[in-house]
Amino acid sequence: MNWKKILPGLFFCFVCSQSIFGAVVHDTVYINKGELITIDTNYYAFYAFNESPDFVATNNRINLAVGDSIYLAVVNTDTENHGFDVKNTTDYDVEILPGDTVEVPMLFSEPGAYIFYDHLDYPKYRYLGLGATITVDNFDGDQFFWNIKDHLGDWNDSLDGGYTVDWSMYYPDYFTINGFSNPLINDDPYARVAGAVGETMRIYITNTGQGTHSLHFHGYHLEIIYSSKNSSHEGRVKDTFPIESMETLILELVPDKTGEYPVHDHNLVAVSGGNIYPNGMFLTMLIE
């Protein structure tokens, strides 16, 4: 067999298969228990999917290209059973015992933003923080990621202590993006949109909270590239974007002028934290 003749063909086939079927990715996330530190320095029970056994309140993100396969090892470092599932795709329905690891093979053939979350005792653990983002996109511009969430601090401790709550009475008192409230959101380089006039940027938004949020952008209209709930909304150009619980959006921004412009929940109660304005869901975009 003449390998010198065959190898280029094999390599060509490999490249083609990668472009058609995507890459194979191996990754690990850890289910960790810790505490959410609020903007006014209160501590509440919280969980997160992290990239190491060390707890941080910001959930890990997984970014894939269209067609990628991923073998995701999910490690449960907690003393309770936890689950793993992905919204709006295959029903994985995985349960993970304390200290155990389960490897979940997944294929993402459609672009979009997905939520992986703990579906056990729903919505308890998802509400307590176990909701994170998988983006599937071949976009090569600057990307920003907002995992938005509401919290009623006292309920975190009650739920974690095994008590039940009446969700019809839910009135959250903290509102975060990637685990941070204003003004700390601007310190998160994955959240704070920064770019230049004429540059095309994308913002991947997942709502892993319990309530609906209505995000208003100052300065610019943006285009909906993807909506997990309403595909008919794709292509709409707007300045305000409602996003329901467990919904995802991909927005595209092409700034036409320089400046620093806010983005905030226009349910203006959600611009507070611990009932203090403006310590809630508020950040700014910086366009140079």
Partner 1 sequence: MINKLFILISVFFWTTFSFGQMDEEVLLIARNTGKKVVATGDTIRTMGFALSLMENPPVPGPTLEFVEGDSIEIDLWNVSQGAPHTIHLHGLDVNQQNDGVPHLSFDVGHMDHGFYKFKAPQAGTYLYHCHVVSTIHVQAGMYGLIIVHPADESQTTWTGGYEYDVSMSLMMSEIDTVWHNDTIIKHEYDSTLAVHKVELPYYDPQFYLVNGYSDEQIPEEGMALNTAVDAVNYIRLINIGYKGNRVVFPPSFEAKIIDSDGRPLPAVETSDTVFIYPGERYGVIGVMPEEGVDFISVDYFDLNTGVFENTQEVPIYTEGFVQLPNQKRSNYDLTVQPNPFDQTIFMELSAAKGGKLQVSILNLNGEVIDVIDERIISNESIHHLTYSNATLSSGTYLVQVKVDGEIVLTQKIVKN
Q: Which residues bind partner 1 (CB under 8 A)?
A: 150, 167-172, 210-214, 216, 218-221, 232, 235-240, 242, 256-262, 265-269, 271-272, 275-279, 284
Considering the complex, state which of residue 25 and residue 254 has its C-beta at the smaller distance from partner 1.
254
Q: Which two tokens stand for residue 239?
A: 């300045």
CA–CA dist 83, 133 (Å, integer): 16
Considering the complex, state which of residue 40 and residue 80 has its C-beta at the smaller distance from partner 1.
40
Backbone torsion region of residue 127, taken as left when φ is above 0, otherwise alpha when ψ lies between -120 and 50, otherwise beta? alpha
- Residue for token pair 């979009």: 112
Considering the complex, state which of residue 4 and residue 257 has its C-beta at the smaller distance from partner 1.
257
Considering the complex, state which of residue 111 and residue 259 has its C-beta at the smaller distance from partner 1.
259
CA–CA dist 47, 68 (Å, integer): 28
Q: Could you tell me the smallest distance in angstroms from the CB atom of residue 74 to partner 1?
A: 30
Considering the complex, state which of residue 34 and residue 259 has its C-beta at the smaller distance from partner 1.
259
Q: Could you tell me the smallest distance in angstroms from the CB atom of residue 77 to partner 1?
A: 31
Considering the complex, state which of residue 16 and residue 237 has its C-beta at the smaller distance from partner 1.
237
* Residue of 223, 254, 256 whose CA lies nearest to 239: 223
Which of the 8 DSSP states describes residue 273? B
Beta-bridged to residue 107, according to DSSP, are 69
Q: Could you tell me the smallest distance in angstroms from the CB atom of residue 195 to partner 1?
A: 15
Considering the complex, state which of residue 68 and residue 247 has its C-beta at the smaller distance from partner 1.
247
Q: Could you tell me the smallest distance in angstroms from the CB atom of residue 239 to partner 1?
A: 5
CA–CA dist 138, 57 (Å, integer): 28
Q: Could you tell me the smallest distance in angstroms from the CB atom of residue 248 to partner 1?
A: 16
Q: Could you tell me the smallest distance in angstroms from the CB atom of residue 24 to partner 1?
A: 36
With a CB cutoff of 8 Å and minimum separation 6, the contacts of 18 are: none
CA distances, 258 to each of 182, 195, 196, 199 (Å): 22, 9, 7, 11
Q: Which two tokens stand for residue 282?
A: 């508020």
- Residue for token pair 């349910």: 267
Q: Could you tell me the smallest distance in angstroms from the CB atom of residue 124 to partner 1?
A: 16
Q: Which two tokens stand for residue 150?
A: 């509401």
With a CB cutoff of 8 Å and minimum separation 6, the contacts of 198 are: 254, 255, 256
